[in-house]
Amino acid sequence: MPTVAQYCAQHNGTSRKPSRPNGGERSAPVVLMVSGGADSTALVLMACTSKLDIADGRGVATIARERLHVLHVNHHLRGAASDADEAFVRDLCERYGLPLCVEHASFTELDGQNLEAAAREVRYAAARRLVNDLSREMGTARSAARILTAHTSSDRTETFFMNAIKGSGPAGLSSIPRRRNIIVRPLIDRTHEDLVHYLRVNDQAWREDESNQDTAYLRNFIRHNIVPLAEACNANLERAVCASCDILGDEDAFMSQLAATALRVCMIRTQEGLLVLDGNKLAASEVAVARRMVRRAVGMLDADARLEMRHVEAVLALVGAGSGSTTLPCGIDARMEFGALSLRTRAACEELAAGWIELDEPFAVANGCLLSARVRRIVPGDDPVALAREASADEVGALGGAASVWVDAESLGYAERDLEGLCGSCRSAVPVAHRPRLWVDAPAAGDIMCPLGMSGRTKKLSDILGAARIPVAERPLVPVLRTTPQGAIVWVAGVRVDERFKCTPATRYVLQLEMRRVIA
């Protein structure tokens, strides 16, 4: 996102001299995506005979011929016409001495995706592969390479209307960006008619796609029906729309930056396939930022998950209600419980479960084991330390440690009146929010605890698991019980309890934790 000084330099061309590129940037590959239509044919001519700004730090400049490579994707959607497009591009590249890569695509299975979107993905995937291969061959950084497309202000205007009709947000209304990473669109300020005129002046033919006349396609309907009507009201329609797109794009980038910062503050636990957010902080966020936080969080778990507005609103509804769950695209589970929003991938759901253990509700974890918790009152005259020692020695857990441990319930922060109520006949009178619960998930990098018997000294969880002779491959399946998703470790199930929550002679209420294997 540019500063004011950078923005002025970019648009005025007088405020600041472009930075000088290094040698790698001057020799890195530049891939032209060429279909054979008027716009991409003009891109080839301009790249070979004129000057373009390809965002490599030099501003408007000539591109060294040895950097140029052409990519053509034959989608085979129009039979002989598609093959004729390929032949035209071959002839064009031969005329200008440009190396050509042709890829062939088929669309037998779209998985619900529309054809235009599928074809676009195929083209960009092919371009990325070609850039990777060329960068390796030329010994240059991939970040210095460029993929040039021939999108114009006409394309940008059409996309703006398409997204507006579909009900897009700011990201969609900003339409086609001038640049996205190494993809650059140097013709974005020119209209399609500008490029057609350029080709005619240079006596250069191009290919026409007859399907562009079919108004059954939304883009063509907008091109032939909506844009002409709008131009009747504003002869400079494309310039006006593109200016709006630039403004929306800058504001969208700024909002995305705010959302990224807010999300970092909101995250209370991250591990492979799992992201836990502070529900209260998310609920207190501005809704415009919160929507972006949800999208960004889901994208961190699975970049292929395409959220629609209804999905985002469903997640925010859970946050507002304080409870509930929903399933998002790609099988991601969103669950709001006890002030925390948990997002899990399908794979994470199938491995070690993560979530809250509540009283008297068995919680299934990996390896066919169940975790459970219940409150018990220490009878006056009994020795809580001896009872806790006896309980933990009753049986051996699935991991070789105690399958049953007692911890001091009051040391977990729960009030005596609530614990007493849970031990008596009026359990239902104790609010759910006041009942003891622990968060269970897998070991995470950097975890530490105060193992029982070490007089309060801390130790890395990885060292504790190693001392227990648990294989590294099996450690992600070891259940770790914590006070909260980001809180202190209470019990590494079947391995070790934490010193801070041990029973003492003053203990009056205990939380009995058990892990047992389900017999199939």
Q: What does the radius of gyration of the chain's CA atoms come to, in whole angstroms? A: 31
Distance CA 58, CA 256 (A): 28
Average pLDDT of 355-381?
85
DSSP 8-state code for residue 498: B
Number of CB atoms found within 10 A of residue 256's CB = 17
Q: Is the pLDDT of residue 3 over 80?
A: no
Question: How far lies 312's CA from each of 273, 337, 342, in Å?
Answer: 19, 17, 14
Amino acid sitting at position 452: L
Domains 4-245 and 352-517 share a fold: no
Q: Which CATH class is domain 272-349?
A: alpha beta
Give the CATH number of domain 4-245; options: 3.40.50.12780, 3.40.50.9100, 3.40.50.620, 1.10.1740.10.
3.40.50.620
List, for residues 25-44, the tens digit of each pLDDT value: 678 999 999 999 999 999 99
| 44's tokens | 């080839």
Give the pLDDT of residue 227: 94
Q: Please say whether the beta carbons of 495 and 456 come within 8 A.
A: no
Distance CA 330, CA 113 (A): 14
Q: Which residue, among 175, 186, 161, has the nearest Cα to 245 in the 3D structure?
A: 175
Q: Please say whether the beta carbons of 57 and 144 come within 8 A.
A: no
CA atoms within 13 A on the CB side of 360: 8
Main-chain dihedrals φ then ψ at residue 175, nearest 5 degrees:
60, -145
pLDDT-wise least confident of 90-104, 221-235, 348-362 = 348-362
List, for residues 152-192, the tens digit of each pLDDT value: 999 999 999 999 998 878 888 999 999 999 999 999 999 99
List, for residues 254-284, the tens digit of each pLDDT value: 999 999 999 999 998 787 788 889 999 999 9
Give the pLDDT of residue 110: 59
Distance CA 340, CA 277 (A): 6
Element housing 122 (H / E): helix 115-138
Q: Which residue, among 240, 251, 238, has the nearest Cα to 171 in the 3D structure?
A: 251
Give the pLDDT of residue 283: 95
Distance CA 389, CA 386 (A): 5
List, for residues 186-224, the tens digit of each pLDDT value: 999 999 999 999 999 999 999 998 888 888 889 999 999
Give the pLDDT of residue 268: 85
Q: Is the pLDDT of residue 377 over 80?
A: yes
Task: Classify 167 as helix, strand or coil.
Answer: coil
Q: Which residue, among 360, 369, 307, 368, has the nearest Cα to 334 in the 3D structure?
A: 307
| 20's tokens | 């000088």
93 — pLDDT class (breaks 50, 70, 90): very high
Q: Which residue, among 373, 483, 377, 357, has the nearest Cα to 421 in the 3D structure?
A: 377
What residues does 404 pair with on adjacent strands?
A: 514
Q: Is the pLDDT of residue 63 over 80?
A: yes
Distance CA 474, CA 146 (A): 44
Residue that wins the pLDDT comparison between 96 and 15: 96
| 367's tokens | 């390896």
Q: Is the pLDDT of residue 401 over 60?
A: no
How confident is the prediction for the chain on average, in pLDDT? 87
Q: What is the CATH number of domain 352-517?
A: 3.50.40
Concatenating the DSSP letter of every residue in 304-318 gives: T----HHHHHHHHHH
Average pLDDT of 499-515?
93
Q: Is the pLDDT of residue 50 over 90?
A: yes
Question: How far lies 246's CA from each of 147, 177, 190, 256, 485, in Å?
Answer: 21, 8, 15, 15, 41
Torsion angle (degrees, nearest 10) of CA 251, 252, 256, 262: 60
- Residue-range domain boundaries for the chain: 4-245, 272-349, 352-517
Distance CA 435, CA 426 (A): 13
Distance CA 275, CA 343 (A): 5
